[in-house]
Structure formats: structure tokens, C-alpha cells
């Protein structure tokens, strides 16, 4: 019996040692992988810095040697005169990168401004034609709406919380947003002014189509996939007023 007991204890001890060794080996492999990923992260990030400073053509072998010397606390393998030349070159490249970035920003701003002007012209022409349709009604703010389904009941107020289904398109019919059959709940103070006004014309069960001038939507700013000065068309079903 004692012999069997010793064998059992020895087996448990060996299993414990084996499990501990496996755990240590797994920890070591995980640490090696972590250090590898850490090195890659710093290398990739530094590569982005080189590109931003217009220095992607730097010699990679010398770069790695410089990293090794720095980590090992060795003095730089460059004379004072060489360092001065490099400092000046780095500053020159950084100034070039800054000038290029500012030039791109100016060009992008001009492109956005031109797009906003074009969208406004196209959108206002659309609204002018749309207003001629007999089924379209307009409010003092310029909101245009069509009643697709009309019910009897109290209207929403500016402070109401509503539940709706909706579908939003550009004037070319392209869908940019929709509830997809899953009702959405929100307060009328939380949405664009065209929605706040338009939903106050509606009762539970109504379906309206709103045609919104940019001043009643998102204006001259780009929001997500909505370009600046976009006229937006919304089909809205008011399910509930809370």
C-alpha cells in the first residue's frame, strides 16, 4: 500500500512539474512574441514618421544601426560636422513636408467650396421645380413636403419624442441612410431643423416625404457620406408620439 501511495505521489509531482514547465514555456513564447510585436510596432510607427518628414529614402541599414547604438547607450557614429549637416537636412525636409501639407489643405478647401457651390445651385434648381408640383406643399421656412398617407389625430410638438421608420435619399435617388424597418426613437430637439418642423405636421400613422434645403439639413458642412449643401429627401412614417 505504501509503495502504491509513493508511486501516486511521484506521478502527481511529475505531472505538476510537467504542467509548470509547459506553462513557463508558453509564457516565454508569449513574451518573445510580445517583444517581437513591440519592435514591429515601433518600426512601423517610425516608418510613418519618416514618410511624414519626407525622409522615406533614409538608409534602412544605417537606421537600424543607429537604433542599436542608441539602445546600447553608445555614442553616435557621426562627427559633429556630420550631425550639423543632418540637422539642416532634416529641417529642410520637414519644412518641405509642412509646405506641401498646407498646399494640399488649401486645395482640398477650394475643392470642398466648389462642390458646395455646385450642390447648392443644383439643389435649389431641384427645389424650384419640385415646388411646382401640385402635391408638394411649402412652409415659410422653405420646407417642402408631400402627404403620402394621412390619418386623424394630435400632431407632434417641438418637445415630443417620436418613433419613426425613415428612408433618406439624395435628389438623384441614391439612398444614404434608412431605418431598415427597425423603428428609431428620438426627441425632436435632437434632429435637424427640417425634421423638427416636418414631424410637427404629422400625426401617428402619417407618412410624409420631406424635401429639405441644406439650410434645413446639414448646410455647407460635410457630414459622413453627405456632401456639403446637399438637398435631402426623406420618406418618414410616424409610428408613435410619446
- Grid coordinates representing 133 are 408640383
Q: Provide the sign of the torsion angle of the four alpha carbons 79, 85, 91, 93, taken in this order.
A: negative
- Grid coordinates representing 98 are 509642412
The yes-or-no answer on residue 176 being catalytic is yes
The yes-or-no answer on residue 41 being catalytic is no
141, 154 in Cβ contact below 8 A? no
Give the three-state DSSP class for 89: helix
Of 206, 218, 236, 241, which residue is the catalytic one? Answer: 218
Of 126, 145, 166, 208, which residue is the catalytic one? Answer: 166
Of 69, 147, 186, 192, which residue is the catalytic one? Answer: 192
Of 171, 177, 226, 239, which residue is the catalytic one? Answer: 177
- Grid coordinates representing 167 are 428612408
Of 170, 234, 236, 241, which residue is the catalytic one? Answer: 234
Of 69, 147, 176, 186, which residue is the catalytic one? Answer: 176
CA-to-CA distance for 175 and 168, rounded, in angstroms?
6
Q: How many alpha carbons fall within 13 Å on the CB side of residue 53? A: 16
The yes-or-no answer on residue 234 being catalytic is yes
- Grid coordinates representing 200 are 410637427
The yes-or-no answer on residue 218 being catalytic is yes
User: In Å, how far from its chain's centre is CA 97?
Assistant: 25
The DSSP code for 177 is E
The residues annotated as belonging to the active site are 166, 176-177, 192, 218, 234
Amino acid at each position: 500500500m505504501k509503495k502504491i501511495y509513493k508511486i501516486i505521489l511521484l506521478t502527481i509531482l511529475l505531472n505538476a512539474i510537467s504542467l509548470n514547465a509547459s506553462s513557463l514555456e508558453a509564457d516565454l513564447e508569449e513574451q518573445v512574441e510580445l517583444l517581437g510585436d513591440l519592435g514591429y510596432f515601433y518600426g512601423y510607427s517610425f516608418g510613418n514618421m519618416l514618410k511624414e518628414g519626407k525622409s522615406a529614402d533614409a538608409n534602412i541599414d544605417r537606421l537600424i544601426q543607429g537604433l542599436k547604438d542608441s539602445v546600447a547607450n553608445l555614442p553616435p557614429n557621426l562627427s559633429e560636422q556630420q550631425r550639423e549637416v543632418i540637422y539642416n537636412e532634416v529641417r529642410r525636409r520637414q519644412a518641405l513636408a509642412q509646405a506641401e501639407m498646407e498646399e494640399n489643405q488649401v486645395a482640398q478647401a477650394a475643392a470642398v467650396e466648389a462642390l458646395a457651390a455646385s450642390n447648392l445651385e443644383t439643389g435649389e434648381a431641384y427645389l424650384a421645380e419640385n415646388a411646382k408640383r401640385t402635391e408638394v406643399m411649402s412652409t415659410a421656412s422653405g420646407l417642402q413636403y408631400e402627404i403620402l398617407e394621412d390619418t386623424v389625430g394630435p400632431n407632434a410638438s417641438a418637445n415630443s419624442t417620436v418613433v419613426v421608420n425613415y428612408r433618406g435619399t439624395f435628389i438623384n435617388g441614391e439612398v444614404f441612410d434608412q431605418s431598415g424597418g427597425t423603428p428609431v426613437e428620438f426627441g425632436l430637439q435632437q434632429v435637424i431643423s427640417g425634421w423638427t418642423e416636418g414631424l410637427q405636421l404629422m400625426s401617428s400613422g402619417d407618412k410624409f416625404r420631406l424635401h429639405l434645403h441644406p439650410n434645413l439639413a446639414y448646410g455647407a458642412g460635410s457630414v459622413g457620406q453627405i456632401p456639403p449643401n446637399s438637398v435631402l429627401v426623406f420618406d418618414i412614417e410616424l409610428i408613435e408620439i410619446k
